[in-house]
A and B are shown apart, each in its own frame.
Chain A
Amino acid sequence: EVQLVESGGGVVKPGGSLRLSCAASGFTLSSYSMNWVRQAPGKGLEWVSSISRSSSDKHYADSVKGRFTISRDNAEKSLFLQMNSLRAEDTAVYFCARKPADGGENYYYYMDVWGKGTTVTVSS
């Protein structure tokens, strides 16, 4: 079964850091580019960051650029999101999501497989 499982969420104070992980199973992670998408409480979906399958290309939303870093370890079948300088507005459920193989490494960034999400709360 193709599956993504996020972990690492929690409660953190403003200015703090968290590292989210996403474990992939049922498919070969190294063959897919990946994404992080978040959803603030009661709000819509917001794209956060994407990474190509070789890690050669990374993209970030302006709202997190310079504070968040996406990375991956294909051998460990894991995707990561290092979140620094956290703000109250970063409070959300964070989903990792797979980009289909369609379009190769750098095109067609829609999302065909999603994890269940991990909750990040930034509060003093």
Chain B
Amino acid sequence: DIQMTQSPSTLSASVGDRVTITCRASQSISSWLAWYQQKPGKAPNLLIYKASSLESGVPSRFSGSGSGTEFTLTISSLLPDDFATYYCQQFDSWPLTFGQGTNVEIK
């Protein structure tokens, strides 16, 4: 199974900050990676797919990059609505696996 490891697990930031979350795969997954945002009590919401493609309707302050085993999700300027938990997910091979999540909290 491909293990997905996110860092950090918790990130404290302020409105307006540039935020970067890292996701590492235990083996190469090419660009087969998605990022999701989840708020408490809600379903996840797709942000980025194929490592760097922005899902329709997602604000352009979100961006993704990387390939192989290392990937990043960047929020260029944090807004109050962005405080949430973020997950990466690989879809290179079965079983599908998620990172453990990164909680972006208010500093």
Contact = CB atoms under 8 A, between A and B. Distances in A.
A45 B35 CA distance: 12
A44 B101 contact: yes
Given A44-B87, A45-B87, A111 B46 contact: yes
Nearest to A96: B43
B interface bracket (residues with beta carbon within 8 Å of A)? 20 to 34
Nearest to A114: B43
A47 B101 contact: no
A116 B43 contact: yes
A111 B45 CA distance: 9
B33 to A, nearest CB: 8
Contacts of B46: 110-112
Contact of A45 (B45, B49, B98): B98
B96 interface: yes
Contact of B91 (A46, A61, A62, A108): A108
B72 interface: no
B8 interface: no
A100 B89 CA distance: 15
Contacts of A102: 49
Interface in B62-107: 87, 89, 91, 94-101
Nearest to A99: B91
Contacts of A108: 32, 49-50, 91
Contacts of A35: 96
A109 B96 CA distance: 8
Nearest to B56: A112
B22 to A, nearest CB: 16
Interface in A97-111: 97, 100, 102, 108-111
27 contacts: A35-B96, A45-B36, A45-B87, A45-B98, A47-B89, A47-B96, A50-B96, A59-B94, A59-B95, A61-B95, A62-B95, A95-B43, A95-B44, A108-B91, A109-B96, A110-B34, A110-B46, A110-B89, A111-B34, A111-B36, A111-B44, A112-B46, A112-B55, A114-B43, A114-B44, A114-B45, A116-B43
Interface of A: 35, 37, 44-47, 50, 59, 61-62, 95, 97, 100, 102, 108-112, 114-117
